[in-house]
Amino acid sequence: MAQTVKRAFKYRFYPTPEQAEELARTLGCVRLVYNKALEERTRAYTREGKRVSYVESSAMLTRWKRSGEFGFLSEVSSVPLQQALRHLQAAFANFFAKRANYPALKSRKKSRASAEYTRSAFRWWDGQLTLAKMNAPLAIVWSRPLPEGAQPSTITVSKDAAGRWFVSILVEELISPLPAIASKVGVDAGITALATLSSGEKIVSPCHERRDRRRLAKAQRALARKEKGSNNRAKARLKVARAHARIADRRRDHLHKVTTRLVRENQVIAVEDLTVRNLVKNRRLARAISDAAWRELRFMLEYKARWNGRTLVAVDRWFPSSKLCSACGAVQEKMPLNVREWSCACGAIHDRDVNAAMNVLAAGLAESRNACGAGVRPQRESSRAGKRR
């Protein structure tokens, strides 16, 4: 059955000098309002034990606009400022529900600069987008078309560290699921091979960061030599940011192609429930794991499977996929990471990654067949203190 989903389409645009100035002013005001409201709410909570609501924060914003010190807040559109307060309210709600850490201040250098415009703060007409306080539409590069008849509900303008401007257009789209097929696949995430499939195929990791490491290191050395606060340092910092952006863009593009293919070709996809934030604590493997972007791979598989009527099953992270013989079910006592091929007592010879992918698929199918829906917990190792595999 077709479903209506909210989907964001992100495009790059090139503002005029006047538009860039207006947007830069708006981004700065959004950051200021968010940080000042956070400080006020923190002060009220620590000193009085009082929780400040969104309505009270909005009243504070009105007072700031009328004051002489922050009167410049009235010069930009009020909608992005109100949206910043709503985002702060959501951050506090997640904190009190123990879903997230305490909200942090937004840094001018480290935080992603963005401003959100709702329907009353922009005009969408004949495929052209004009934001509040602007007289001309944005020069957007339409790299892909919006769904036919789409009406944007929210516009988010952002600027990355490389100085590029982007606009994210949120629309509602009717998505029909893909035709059901019989094929199923288990996926074992890795470093040399980004993903090893239960069919025996290995999708090689492009290692984008490793390929551009020399260029990035050269740019970082040049940045370190520049005097702090100088224009040359700002130019050098931009070169470093562009090197990082090139790596991130190529990595994301590759992950989109891999995940789209997996979702289109398989009805059931079984993956391991990895905790990447714990795995990257390994100082020897952290750089390679981050370059592989396992978390982003899993995230893409989740929403693409949900949109297209596929089933994604996450297998218990403690399941000994590499130690388990997919032929006879025997579990090996040890399996060091340097062992890439091994033989079982039953006579089966296994490629470590292919065998793990086959076991992940079998465990995933067992979970998906569980009538209660609670999931079948695969066989665990005797101790959680040891290595995962």
125 lies in the same domain as 195:
no
Q: Residue 55 is inside which H or E element, if any?
A: helix 54-66
Instruction: Give the active site residues.
Output: 188, 272, 353
Tell me, yes or no, whether 116 lies in a domain: yes
| pLDDT tens track for 269-281 | 999 988 888 888 8
Return the pLDDT at 374.
43
Mean pLDDT (whole number) for 79-90: 97
CA pseudo-torsion sign 79, 38, 89, 6: positive
pLDDT of 359 over the 70 cut? yes
The total number of structural domains in the chain stands at 2
Alpha carbon distance 315, 98 (integer Å): 25
159 lies in the same domain as 193:
no
Mean pLDDT (whole number) for 343-356: 90
* Among candidate residues 175, 196, 227, the one where a domain is terminated: 175
107 lies in the same domain as 32:
yes
Q: Residue 294 is inside which H or E element, if any?
A: helix 294-307
269 lies in the same domain as 300:
yes
What is the pLDDT confidence band of residue 318, given thresholds at 50, 70 and 90? Answer: confident
The pair of structure tokens assigned to 123 is 């005009």
189 lies in the same domain as 330:
yes
* % of the chain at pLDDT higher than 90: 69
Tell me, yes or no, whether 169 lies in a domain: yes
pLDDT of 185 over the 90 cut? yes
pLDDT of 1 over the 90 cut? no
Tell me, yes or no, whether 152 lies in a domain: yes
165 lies in the same domain as 193:
no
Sheet of strand 268-272: strand arrangement: 202-204, 193-197, 184-189, 268-272, 311-315
- Look up the pTM and report it: 0.85
pLDDT of 387 over the 70 cut? no
Tell me, yes or no, whether 84 lies in a domain: yes
190 lies in the same domain as 316:
yes
Mean pLDDT (whole number) for 146-152: 91
Give the total residue count for the chain: 389
192 lies in the same domain as 93:
no
C-alpha distances (whole Å) from 365 to each of 150, 313, 355, 369 are 38, 8, 16, 6
Mean pLDDT (whole number) for 254-280: 92
Strand partners, 123: 130
pLDDT of 105 over the 80 cut? yes
Return the pLDDT at 10.
96
What is the average pLDDT value for the chain, to the nearest integer? 90
199 lies in the same domain as 301:
yes
| Cα-based torsion angle of the residue sequence 119, 120, 126, 130 in order, rounded to the nearest 10 degrees | -110
State which residues form the domain around 277: 184-206+238-368
| Cα-based torsion angle of the residue sequence 282, 285, 289, 291 in order, rounded to the nearest 10 degrees | 130
pLDDT of 383 over the 70 cut? no
Return the pLDDT at 376.
39
Return the pLDDT at 289.
85
Tell me, yes or no, whether 216 lies in a domain: no
Return the pLDDT at 342.
86
190 lies in the same domain as 334:
yes
pLDDT of 372 over the 80 cut? no
Name the nearest CA neighbour of 201 among 358, 17, 365.
358
Tell me, yes or no, whether 358 lies in a domain: yes
Tell me how crowded residue 304 is: count the other CB atoms within 10 A of its CB: 18
Tell me, yes or no, whether 219 lies in a domain: no
258 lies in the same domain as 170:
no
Return the pLDDT at 370.
66
| pLDDT tens track for 106-138 | 988 777 899 999 999 999 998 899 999 999 999
Tell me, yes or no, whether 386 lies in a domain: no
Alpha carbon distance 311, 268 (integer Å): 5
* Among candidate residues 156, 175, 194, the one where a domain is terminated: 175
Mean pLDDT (whole number) for 4-19: 95
136 lies in the same domain as 171:
yes
| pLDDT tens track for 30-79 | 999 999 999 999 999 888 888 899 999 999 999 999 988 999 999 999 99
> Contact at 8 Å (CB) between 15 and 138?
yes
